Amino acid sequence: MRLLIGRPDVIIPVVTSYGKPCFLYNIGSMFMKNGIEYLSNLTPSSSNIAVSNMQLNDEREFDIRYANYLSTNDAAFIDIMKIVYNLYQGYDVFCIADVGDEYNELFVESILKFIQQKYGFNGQILGSPEDFLYTQDSTFTIQGLYNLDIDKERFAILCQNCGN
C-alpha cells in the first residue's frame, strides 16, 4: 500500500496509468475536477486560531497544534480517516496538493508526519510522475494498528451521525 502526495500535474498522470483500484483525494489544490473528493477539512479555516494564526516558521509547534486539530476536530478527523482507512483496507491512496507552495507544503508534510507517528505508515511526496517508479509500499506498525482500532470506532460513530 502506498500514500503518495503531489501536484495535480504529477499525480493525475500516475493515477490515469495506474492499473489497480485506488483512491484519489484533493487535500489542498486549486485543481478541482468532478469525481475527486476534496477533503476540505484538512486545512483549518481562519476561525481555527490555534493553527491558522501561528508563525509558520516554527515547524515543530505547528505540527503539534495541527496534530491536535486533526485529532479533536470531528470533520478533520473524518477526512484524515478516509485516507488512513482506505490504506488499512489495502488500497493505494493518491492525494493532490499544491506542494511547492510554502503554505500548502507545511500542511502536506504535517499530514505525513501525523500518519507516520500515529499509525507507523510512511507516505511520500512525488516531485514528478517518474518518481512513482521509486516508491515503496508501507505497512502499519503494531502500535499503529492499535491506534487505528481505537480511531475506527470513533470514525464509525461520527460517520453514522453525519451520514457519511
Q: In whole angstroms, what is the distance from residue 151 CA to residue 11 CA? A: 28
Residue among 88, 69, 79 at smallest CA distance from 155: 79
pTM for the whole structure: 0.90
Q: What is the pLDDT of residue 164?
A: 58
Q: Which of 40-44, 104-108, 121-125 has the highest mean pLDDT?
A: 121-125
Share of the chain above pLDDT 90, in %: 63
Q: In whole angstroms, what is the distance from residue 44 CA to residue 110 CA? A: 13
How does 111-134 read in b/e, with b if 16+ C-beta sit within 10 Å? Answer: bbebbbebbbbebbbbeebeebee
Q: In whole angstroms, what is the distance from residue 145 CA to residue 140 CA? A: 6
